[in-house]
Amino acid sequence: MYQHIIFDRDGTINDGSHYYVTKVEEITLLPKVKDTLTALNNKGVKLYIFTQQSCIGKGELTEEGLANIHNKMHELLGGDLFVDVVHCPHTEADACACRKPKTGMLDILAKKYQMTAENTLVVGDAERDYLAAKEKGFDFCLVKTGKGQDTANKIAQEVRFVTDDLEGLLDIYK
């Protein structure tokens, strides 16, 4: 089973698929996220985040501000459950290699942590999360939080797993 799970952040871990989280107080965990991530962590599964934060490229958030937001996220989770959190700060105009659906962030994690198509699952609420995972050859779980319901209407047939909320991930490990 998957030893590594890479999560999208906004709409998957926290609310905020429809707006930029630019203040510490704006980060709130979605229901069941804390218990699910804790349970996975206790099973020895390694957890990561890959998140697009173009609000940095647009000047609405600083790198330091993002670090503070992630510290708050860890506090809400009751500990640092993530081995690594990578982000793309660019805007579309930057034409970078890391903005989803490009695979730059997955490439960094895969190389650093010996991830393979067999041992890694990507979880997210948006089509671009799926497309990045697919391009990299990783299985994908669509979670119907955030934009996930709309995304399911488009790609539910194509993806490996679909779950109503993050807790559904635990079924994969039964």
User: What is the binding site for Zn ion (CB under 5 A)?
Assistant: 88, 90, 96, 98-99
Piece in contact with Mg ion (CB under 5 A), picked from 15-23, 35-43, 69-77, 151-159? 15-23
Compute the least distance from the CB of residue 170 to Mg ion, in Å. 20
The correct pick among 13, 88, 105, 125 for binding Mg ion (CB under 5 A) is 125
Q: What's the full length of the chain, in residues?
A: 174
Position 112, amino acid:
K
CB nearer to Zn ion: give 2 or 10: 10
Q: Reply yes or no on whether 164 is catalytic.
A: no
Please tell me which residue in 10, 35, 94, 125 is annotated as part of the active site: 10
The correct pick among 7, 10, 40, 134 for binding Mg ion (CB under 5 A) is 10
Rounded Cα gap, residues 105 and 99, in angstroms? 8
How large is the angle between the packed helices 104-113 and 127-136, nearest 10 degrees?
50
Q: Reply yes or no on whether 107 is catalytic.
A: no
Phi, psi angle pair for 144, to nearest 5°? -85, 30
11 touches, from Zn ion, Mg ion, none (C-beta below 5 to 8 Å by class): Mg ion
Closest CA to 5 of 120, 113, 101, 114: 120
121 touches, from Zn ion, Mg ion, none (C-beta below 5 to 8 Å by class): none
Say whether residue 127 binds Mg ion (CB under 5 A): no
88 touches, from Zn ion, Mg ion, none (C-beta below 5 to 8 Å by class): Zn ion
Q: Are 35 and 75 in contact (CB under 8 A)?
A: no
H or E segment and range at residue 66: helix 63-76
8 touches, from Zn ion, Mg ion, none (C-beta below 5 to 8 Å by class): Mg ion
> Which residues contact residue 138 at a Cβ distance below 8 angstroms, ignoring those fewer than 6 apart?
6, 106, 115, 117, 120, 121, 122
Closest CA to 13 of 60, 47, 61: 47
Compute the least distance from the CB of residue 49 to Mg ion, in Å. 11
Say whether residue 8 binds Mg ion (CB under 5 A): yes
Catalytic residues, which ones? 8, 10
Residues that bind Mg ion (CB under 5 A): 8, 10-11, 17, 125-126
